[in-house]
Amino acid sequence: MKPVLATAGCFLVGAVILMAAQPRSPSSPQPYKVVFDLTTDDPLDQAAVVRWLREVASVNSQSEMEVVMYGRGLSLVIPGRSTQADAVKEALGQPRVSFKVCEIAMRNQKVDRSQLLPGVATVPDGIGEIVARQRDGWGYIKAVAH
């Protein structure tokens, strides 16, 4: 009985090792976490950020994405100044997507929280938020379309 159990145990361990060593199928990419850094009010950059959110979610809906806006980037989430307000509203409906605005930039530009699209969060310091995300293992993308 012991040789049968030993053989079966070796077989199972070998199978687990083989499964772990096999490359992952490109059709099933692993989810990841990424923070997008937006500092410009350029319509091309705004469009690029929301397009990237859609594209990442279409490949793996479990990926977590955060757009951090400071400087002129906060215009993305201000109705009347955003070229992508409808797309932002749609993205805010996704459970793993968030938009965060730097309160320093808001103060410098005299923007009140009530002026932001519903569902947009604020953080005390946009750069600090990005650094914290990177410290937690998140990927970083600077949003520049051109």
> What single string gives the DSSP state of each residue in the chain?
-HHHHHHHHHHHHHHHHHHHHSPPPTTSPPP-EEEEEE----HHHHHHHHHHHHHHHHH-TT-EEEEEE-GGGGGGGSTTT-S-HHHHHHHHTSTTEEEEEEHHHHHHTT--GGGSPTT-EEES-HHHHHHHHHHTT-EEEE----
| pTM, entire model | 0.80
pLDDT at 14: 39
What domain count does the chain have?
1
Task: Encode the chain (146 residues) as per-residue pLDDT tens digits.
Answer: 555 434 433 343 333 333 444 455 556 678 999 999 999 999 999 999 999 999 999 999 999 999 999 999 999 999 999 999 999 999 999 999 999 999 999 999 999 999 999 999 999 999 999 999 999 999 999 998 76
Report the C-alpha gap between 97 and 121 in whole angstroms: 11
The sign of the CA dihedral 23, 29, 34, 36 is: positive
Q: Is residue 126 part of a domain?
A: yes
Q: Is residue 4 part of a domain?
A: no
pLDDT at 74: 95
pLDDT at 76: 97
- Return the CATH number at 124: 3.40.1260.10
Q: Is residue 2 part of a domain?
A: no
Strands 121-123 and 139-142: unpaired
52 lies in which domain range?
31-142
Q: Is residue 14 part of a domain?
A: no
pLDDT at 25: 53
State the greatest distance between any 2 C-alpha atoms of the chain, in Å, as a whole number. 78
Q: Is residue 1 part of a domain?
A: no
Q: Is residue 51 part of a domain?
A: yes
